[in-house]
């Protein structure tokens, strides 16, 4: 279930707000300049090839490309049996920014985007059919959990793809990880 947990960055152990209402999640994120949408489900097998996934969502991808100037779209997928899953998880766990929007649409599975917005951290547990767009320059990190299982469509304006500028801040290590937040509700 998609869930938003909002933490005070100064006391990050307990969320002050937790909601699983998609409308409320969208409104709370929009108030901070974060795009969040739920796209309709497309019937795809769990092992669908990237080309088939991109074709199934071609209209939604084309709309985002037109609206935001994205040049490329690709598919990233990770499963619990990947021998490098720990290294992949670690790569995204430190706070960083990007020079372009980070856009992800979850075709299957889940992961948590942590958005460091002023004195608050918004932890968005994204699920299948969730689209999130983190604006360029936003401090954030991503936790896929110890047993990652997700497939996402990614959109880029930069032909180099995912390029991070790490902040060096330790805030990501002070907030609850995926294991503690998974399935959290009111």
Stretch 29-39: mean pLDDT: 96
The answer to whether residue 161 scores a pLDDT higher than 80 is no
Domains in the chain, ordered, with CATH? 3-168 (2.60.120.10)
The answer to whether residue 182 scores a pLDDT higher than 80 is no
For the ranges 32-46, 77-91, 156-170, the lowest mean pLDDT is seen at 156-170
Is 51 annotated as ligand-binding?
no
3-class DSSP state for residue 91?
A: helix
pLDDT above 70: percentage of residues in the chain = 96
Is 116 annotated as ligand-binding?
no
pLDDT classification of 26: cutoffs 50, 70, 90: very high
Calculate the CA dihedral of residues 29, 105, 93, 16 and round it to 10 degrees: 30
The answer to whether residue 57 scores a pLDDT higher than 50 is yes
Nearest Cα residue to 122 out of 102, 104, 142, 93: 142
Is 96 annotated as ligand-binding?
yes
Stretch 92-112: mean pLDDT: 94
pLDDT classification of 183: cutoffs 50, 70, 90: low
Is 98 annotated as ligand-binding?
yes
């Amino acid at each position: 279930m998609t869930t938003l947990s909002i933490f005070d960055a100064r006391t990050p152990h307990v969320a002050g707000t937790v909601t699983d209402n998609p409308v409320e999640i969208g409104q709370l994120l929009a108030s901070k300049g974060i795009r969040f949408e739920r796209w309709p489900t497309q019937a795809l097998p769990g092992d669908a090839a990237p080309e088939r996934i991109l074709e199934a969502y071609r209209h939604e991808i084309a709309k985002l490309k037109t609206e935001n100037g994205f040049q490329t779209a690709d598919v990233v997928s990770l499963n619990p049996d990947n021998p490098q899953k720990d290294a992949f998880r670690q790569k995204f766990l430190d706070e960083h920014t990007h020079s372009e929007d980070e856009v992800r649409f979850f075709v299957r599975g889940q992961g948590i985007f942590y958005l460091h917005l002023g004195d608050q951290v918004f932890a968005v547990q994204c699920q299948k059919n969730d689209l999130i767009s983190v604006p360029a320059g936003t401090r954030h990190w991503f936790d896929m959990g110890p047993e990652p299982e997700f497939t996402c469509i990614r959109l880029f304006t930069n032909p180099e793809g995912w390029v991070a500028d790490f902040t060096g801040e330790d805030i990501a290590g002070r907030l609850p990880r995926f294991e503690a937040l998974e399935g959290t509700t009111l």
